[in-house]
Amino acid sequence: MRVGIGYDSHRFVSGRPLVLGGVRIPFDTGLAGHSDADVVAHAVTDALLGAAGLGDIGTHFPADDERWRDADSIELLRAAVRILEERNYQVVNVDVTVVAEQPKLRPHVDAMRARLADALAISPDNVSVKGKTNEQMGWVGRGEGIAGMAVALIDAVRD
């Protein structure tokens, strides 16, 4: 068994959809980024790659690569799972904390868990997503952006 941690943040910007955990969330601003700026998918991807000791999301999906412009980050997550599978690892579970002053994330948590679980090829029971505010402190508290943190446990496939 190996464990990994992932962190990501993106700044709010107008004119883009807000996508978190592969779910489009109704809100008046989205997040800036080369891809769809899904901080949840990015944090989980980094946690997986970290657990396997295989670098990070920027190593595998460089932000200056046109292939990833406006990319669906759930597809990047699927690609990371394939990279792990090639090395004989499977995902056991992931736990995510999303820190955002707004919007309220609780109504979207189960949809995020389902999308992430599908990409990870595990049960939604093994995917946890928790929304938190930052109690109006700092850049998150001022509503400048969203941060995501994830831990992932992976295991060698036994046959």
Instruction: Output the smallest distance, CB 50 to Mg ion, in A.
Output: 14
Q: Note the residues at the interface with Mg ion (CB under 5 A).
A: 8, 42
Nearer residue to Mg ion within complex by CB, 41 or 120? 41
Distance between CA atoms of 30 and 155, rounded to whole angstroms? 35
* Burial (0-12, 13-18, 19+ Cβ within 10 Å), 86: exposed
- Is the peptide bond prior to 103 cis by the omega test (within 30 degrees of 0)? yes
Nearer residue to Mg ion within complex by CB, 127 or 150? 150
Nearer residue to Mg ion within complex by CB, 70 or 110? 70
Please name every residue paired with 147 in a beta bridge, in sequence order, or none if there are none: 9, 99
Nearer residue to Mg ion within complex by CB, 11 or 87? 11
Residue whose structure tokens are 């790659």: 49
Could you tell me the two tokens for 21? Answer: 């955990």
Instruction: Output the smallest distance, CB 22 to Mg ion, in A.
Output: 14
Sign of CA dihedral 114, 17, 81, 132: negative
| Residues 6 or more apart in contact with residue 63 via CB below 8 angstroms | 34, 35
Instruction: Output the smallest distance, CB 81 to Mg ion, in A.
Output: 17
Instruction: Output the smallest distance, CB 124 to Mg ion, in A.
Output: 23
Instruction: Output the smallest distance, CB 74 to Mg ion, in A.
Output: 13
Nearer residue to Mg ion within complex by CB, 42 or 108? 42
